[in-house]
């Protein structure tokens, strides 16, 4: 009897694992997320948490400077492993000189490297930006495509960049999981995973679709201002009563006088 029970638990565990891995593989191919079986790890008061975040950051938005989908695509590509602040220091000048993919294509890779050399990984980024601009001109008439699959096929554009462009430039709901969203959502308990994609799938399942883009900004803003990577300010955090990390670390909120 005990052996049978153990065997069925064992099977259930591996079937669940296989289902999650299958979902991840499918989504990597750019297929629809609809109807995918994503297992939520724990019960958390999602509504309450989102309500607090929305009241803390009603003005939250993308902090990269851009005026159109093309500029957002380039700014997001530049922001990989660099801060938005650093990217914003160079893009206004860059976009003043080079407004469209054709303008970038007039540059050699060395010339573009010179323009963006204050940003980390500038050599790889220059190569990817030029190749992306070439594809935009040749395949998409110089426009940024609105499809995840097409965006992800561009050099230097991964799932996170595609999500940023889809949600901010085209208003298509998406949750881009960057370092802040990953850290904050896993600390709070909205997600429970050491994988970026699995975190995104769990957030998509837990958060109503019409709030995906807002929630993405709220979590980033909270991560930058309160739930910082080192020394999160739990004692003053409004989410503390609902936060798994605070519970596990027995953190008590400071009483307001």
Binding-site residues for [4Fe-4S] cluster: 227, 234, 237, 243
CB of 252 vs ligand SF4, minimal distance in Å: 10
Between residues 171 and 241, which has the closer beta carbon with respect to ligand SF4?
241
Cα–Cα nearest to 243, from 217, 219, 211: 219
Q: By CB under 6 A, tell whether 188 contacts ligand SF4.
A: yes
Q: By CB under 6 A, tell whether 233 contacts ligand SF4.
A: yes
DSSP summary character for residue 211: G
Q: Which residues lie closer than 8 Å to 196 by C-beta, 6 or more apart?
A: 160, 177, 182
Task: State both tokens at 209.
Answer: 């679709």
CB of 8 vs ligand SF4, minimal distance in Å: 36
CA distance to 54, 202, 218, 227, 254, per residue, from 240 (Å): 15, 21, 16, 10, 10
Mark whether 23 is an active-site residue.
no
Which residue has tokens 């097409």? Answer: 150
DSSP helix, strand, coil percent of the chain (3-state; round to 5):
60, 0, 40
Which residue has tokens 């297992």? Answer: 39
What's the CA angle centered on 80, arms 154 and 127, to 5 degrees?
50
Mark whether 103 is an active-site residue.
no
Between residues 160 and 187, which has the closer beta carbon with respect to ligand SF4?
187
Q: By CB under 6 A, tell whether 130 contacts ligand SF4.
A: no
CB of 99 vs ligand SF4, minimal distance in Å: 40
Segment lying near ligand SF4 (by CB under 6 A), choices 79-87, 119-127, 204-212, 235-243: 235-243
Q: By CB under 6 A, tell whether 159 contacts ligand SF4.
A: no
Q: Residues at the annotated binding site? A: 227, 234, 237, 243
CB of 180 vs ligand SF4, minimal distance in Å: 11
Q: By CB under 6 A, tell whether 243 contacts ligand SF4.
A: yes
CB of 119 vs ligand SF4, minimal distance in Å: 29
The size of the chain, in residues, is 257
Task: State both tokens at 79.
Answer: 């922001």
- Among residues 237, 248, 252, 256, which is the contact residue for ligand SF4, using CB under 6 A? 237
Positive or negative, the CA dihedral 24, 60, 71, 68 is positive
- Among residues 104, 210, 245, 257, which is the contact residue for ligand SF4, using CB under 6 A? 245
Cα–Cα nearest to 204, from 22, 18, 17, 27: 27
Segment lying near ligand SF4 (by CB under 6 A), choices 26-34, 86-94, 100-108, 243-251: 243-251
DSSP H or E run through 169: helix 159-170
Q: By CB under 6 A, tell whether 239 contacts ligand SF4.
A: yes
Positive or negative, the CA dihedral 156, 32, 72, 222 is negative
Q: Which of 178, 205, 233, 247 is catalytic?
A: 178
Q: By CB under 6 A, tell whether 240 contacts ligand SF4.
A: yes
Tell me which residues touch ligand SF4 (CB under 6 A). Answer: 187-188, 226-227, 232-234, 237, 239-240, 243, 245-246
Residues with catalytic function: 160, 178
């Amino acid at each position: 009897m005990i052996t049978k029970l153990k065997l069925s638990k064992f099977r259930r565990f591996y079937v669940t694992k296989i289902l999650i891995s299958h979902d991840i593989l499918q989504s990597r191919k750019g297929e629809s997320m609809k109807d995918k079986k994503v297992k939520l790890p724990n019960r958390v008061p999602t509504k309450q948490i989102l309500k607090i975040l929305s009241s803390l950051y009603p003005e939250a938005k993308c902090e990269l400077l851009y005026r159109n989908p093309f500029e957002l695509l380039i700014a997001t590509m530049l922001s990989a492993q660099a801060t938005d602040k650093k990217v914003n220091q160079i893009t206004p000048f860059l976009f003043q000189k080079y407004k469209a993919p054709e303008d970038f294509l007039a540059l050699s890779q060395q010339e573009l490297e010179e323009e963006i050399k204050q940003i980390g990984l500038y050599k790889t980024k220059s190569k990817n930006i030029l190749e992306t601009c070439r594809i935009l001109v040749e395949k998409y008439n110089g426009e940024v495509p609105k499809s995840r699959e097409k965006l992800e096929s561009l050099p230097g554009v991964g799932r996170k960049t595609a999500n940023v462009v889809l949600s901010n430039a085209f208003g298509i709901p998406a949750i881009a999981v960057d370092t802040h969203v990953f850290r904050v959502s896993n600390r709070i308990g909205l997600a429970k995973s050491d994988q970026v994609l699995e975190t995104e799938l769990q957030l998509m399942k837990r958060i109503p679709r019409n709030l995906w883009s807002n929630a993405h900004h709220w979590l980033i803003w909270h991560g930058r201002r309160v739930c910082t990577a080192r020394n999160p300010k739990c004692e003053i955090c409004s989410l503390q009563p609902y936060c798994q990390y605070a519970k596990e670390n027995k953190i008590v909120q400071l009483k307001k006088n």
